Chain A
């Protein structure tokens, strides 16, 4: 009975979403306050029913109800309880329900957080979120019902995909989804602005905070995904330019651009069209990710469920949401007037450059991702582009982008004399260049121009980001930094740290494949390894061959590495569990390959310098975002708006 309750709750949520998507928008158009007032109750009710539906699915999973098709396909009675619960997003139908649930949470938060906004505006935003929600619930309900029954009921389930039986997978998808779905909020905000034909600074500030929260989750989600791929897929890579990775990365790039564009719109009342377009693009690319993974249009390790009906449905939604928003843009964008101009040397210019470069980077990634589809659809053959394409075309806009961050941070609004900038930054630039050339040559030996350039730029951004905070700490001059400024410095410092890690880990990665017998000693990447042997170990739902390697640096033992090859009992697929020894400066990554017969095993050893900087850098970016959203001006603005609604504010703090 419980699954049927879940299905009923989903149907009721759909009804409420339809109310939420029609009445408030019509009310806002016709000026009917009573219709607009329906927005919040509808959003709250929808949240309750979606929560009931999600709880029903969890109940079915936790009680091993294999009469539910989804449970039978993605769970198993021997699965640890933890993974039973998280199996909800281990398959297509459950993932969609999670998507809807996350949207319901965002909608509820927006409903609660928009009380201080003018009713007309809040109603439009909630109305647009209602349309998105109605579309996605209809998609789940009609094409991917997680509560479908299975007749006859199997005795046990097919088990969760072993790749997903990992702590990283428990939090990666929900985190990413919160970010993905969160882009619906700036989208709704942009569409509301287009409907109203105006975009105030006040609204931009409001949207910026929500965008920042979505961006933080996207950053964390992508980082977790990359980290998971690094230690779970067992190949030692951290980014594969897989279509699905790309489709999580493109919304991130767009949201990053949007954050910076919103800063200009908030402070200066310009770049309004840009802001609106970026908001539409960020959400559209999030939806695109759903389309690509769920339709079978792309081949990907992530393509769990592909089905043309589902693909057609999502394409329809994409046409409705994106097409509708862009049509509205075509009709209304002329009304969003700029409120002032700016000089060439000013913060506005740098933020514009940031936007243009990020859009170019996104365009390249999008083109590379869709290239196989383009040539296939045109009948030109079967081709795809690989990591070499992406690495090259991504660096083209990103290297100048990161270099410009270091300058842009120190510019002022409206105008900034170039001579002041040069005076302030010249020694920093010289120091970055000197270190950027010296470090790779002295520490790592072999060099390429690109590596030197990238290390220099990375150090340059790090130094530039620390300039203001350090000055403030040492000399106590100038105004105290706002949280917005501290957040910006942290995030940009994170960009530099990330880039340093990415460059050094890729350029100076040591990798060796070899065959080893128990008792063998071998040298790899400056360490000595002793292979002690392989034994069988048992996990709750798998058996594994576990190798034991002790490794030494200059004769001193650094510990024992235990890589495994697991075979999960139900799906019988082998999985490599690499053993990784981490310290600040390097990872030693050891994976056991296949048995070569006669005791010998193939072994892959990798030593990856500074790879930890990747996760550290992206964590710093997310942390910077977190500090920035707690900036005083948001709280002050919210409080003052409550006292005196819809009054134009003068903001404190910087970007």
Chain B
């Protein structure tokens, strides 16, 4: 009789969803900020208290904004690659969140400083404006100050090639992204 097949049918439907779910990534949440201008901010520099870092500094060329903190283990994992990108000429701005100034300075001295400059945000107020859910997170900012992409979790060469390079090709002017020759075309 048909009614004895109903439980099997329900299970089959749920099972198909599970199968589909295995190839989805639940932790990927598209940021509502993508396509919008960067939230304005002005923060003291993490190392040099007299200097400031502000949203205006991001304008004029394609840049990365990287959210980090010395308490963040995964930041340590991506740090080497950030240094490599910086050497190739990628402008990276840091957003140091909920951290200690002294510890952050030591971290940069020891592991190398990939940042043009890093804003110091001890209470995470700017991070909230940016919709930061954790660290590390990396934003790709267009030359007009529009957020082009947001990546949650460590930035790896794989992610860079897959997600960032195509966007850079699209949004860089002819002479803007000379670094793509070094860290883009592989």
Contacts from A to B (Cβ < 8 Å): 273, 277, 280, 284, 291, 295-299, 308, 311-312, 315, 318-319, 322-323, 326-327, 329-331, 333-334, 370, 372-374, 376-377, 382, 572
Chain B residues with CB under 8 A of A295? 18, 21-22
CA distance A318 to B15 in the complex (A): 8
B99 → chain A closest CB, angstroms:
12
Decide if B24 touches A376 in the complex (CB within 8 Å): yes
**What's the tally of chain B residues with a CB closer than 8 Å to chain A?**
24
B125 → chain A closest CB, angstroms:
14
Decide if B29 touches A572 in the complex (CB within 8 Å): no
Chain A residues with CB under 8 A of B26? 296-299, 372-373, 376, 382
- Known contacts A296-B26, A377-B24; is A333 also within 8 Å of B11 by CB? no
Find the A residue at minimum CB distance from B17. Answer: A377
A285 → chain B closest CB, angstroms:
11
Chain A residues with CB under 8 A of B8? 323, 326-327, 329-330
Q: Give 26 A-B contacts (CB < 8 Å), ordered by A residue.
A: A277-B7, A280-B7, A296-B22, A296-B26, A297-B18, A297-B21, A297-B22, A297-B24, A297-B26, A299-B26, A318-B15, A322-B11, A323-B11, A323-B15, A326-B11, A330-B5, A330-B7, A334-B1, A373-B17, A376-B21, A376-B24, A377-B17, A377-B24, A382-B26, A382-B28, A572-B71
B81 → chain A closest CB, angstroms:
22
B57 → chain A closest CB, angstroms:
27
CA distance A295 to B29 in the complex (A): 18
- Known contacts A323-B11, A572-B73; is A374 also within 8 Å of B1 by CB? no
Decide if B7 touches A326 in the complex (CB within 8 Å): yes
B145 → chain A closest CB, angstroms:
26
Chain B residues with CB under 8 A of A318? 15, 18
Find the B residue at minimum CB distance from A311. Answer: B22
CA distance A374 to B16 in the complex (A): 10
Is the C-beta of B158 less than 8 angstroms from some C-beta in chain A? Answer: no
Chain A residues with CB under 8 A of B15? 315, 318-319, 323
Find the B residue at minimum CB distance from A571. Answer: B73
Decide if B11 touches A284 in the complex (CB within 8 Å): yes
Interface contacts (Cβ under 8 Å), in number, total 71
- Known contacts A319-B15, A326-B7, A326-B11; is A382 also within 8 Å of B30 by CB? yes
Chain A residues with CB under 8 A of B5? 330
A329 → chain B closest CB, angstroms:
6
A453 → chain B closest CB, angstroms:
33
User: Which residues of chain B from 9 to 39 have a CB within 8 Å of any chain A CB?
Assistant: 11-12, 14-15, 17-24, 26-30
- Known contacts A277-B7, A330-B8; is A312 also within 8 Å of B22 by CB? yes
B68 → chain A closest CB, angstroms:
15
User: Which residues of chain B from 94 to 145 have a CB within 8 Å of any chain A CB?
Assistant: none
CA distance A158 to B155 in the complex (A): 23
Chain B residues with CB under 8 A of A296? 22, 26
Decide if B30 touches A370 in the complex (CB within 8 Å): no
Chain A residues with CB under 8 A of B19? 315
Given contacts A326-B11, A373-B26, A382-B28, 10 further A-B pairs with CB under 8 A are: A273-B4, A277-B7, A295-B21, A295-B22, A297-B26, A299-B27, A323-B11, A329-B7, A330-B5, A333-B4
User: Which residues of chain B from 133 to 183 have a CB within 8 Å of any chain A CB?
Assistant: none
Chain B residues with CB under 8 A of A297? 18, 21-22, 24, 26
Chain B residues with CB under 8 A of A308? 22-23
Chain A residues with CB under 8 A of B24? 297, 373, 376-377
Chain B residues with CB under 8 A of A323? 8, 11-12, 15
CA distance A382 to B14 in the complex (A): 18
CA distance A323 to B7 in the complex (A): 9
CA distance A154 to B5 in the complex (A): 54
CA distance A319 to B19 in the complex (A): 11
CA distance A312 to B164 in the complex (A): 30
Interchain CB contact (< 8 A) of A377 among B7, B21, B71: B21
CA distance A284 to B1 in the complex (A): 23
Chain A residues with CB under 8 A of B14? 370
User: Which residues of chain B from 25 to 81 have a CB within 8 Å of any chain A CB?
Assistant: 26-30, 71, 73
Q: Which 10 A-B pairs have the closest CB atoms?
A: A326-B8, A377-B20, A297-B21, A333-B4, A330-B5, A373-B21, A330-B4, A311-B22, A299-B26, A326-B7
CA distance A337 to B5 in the complex (A): 17
CA distance A221 to B49 in the complex (A): 53
Q: Among B4, B11, B26, B27, find the residue whose CB has the most chain A CB atoms closer than 10 A.
A: B26
CA distance A315 to B27 in the complex (A): 20
CA distance A515 to B20 in the complex (A): 48
Decide if B17 touches A374 in the complex (CB within 8 Å): yes
Find the A residue at minimum CB distance from B25. Answer: A296
Chain B residues with CB under 8 A of A382? 26, 28-30
A501 → chain B closest CB, angstroms:
33
Chain B residues with CB under 8 A of A370? 14, 17
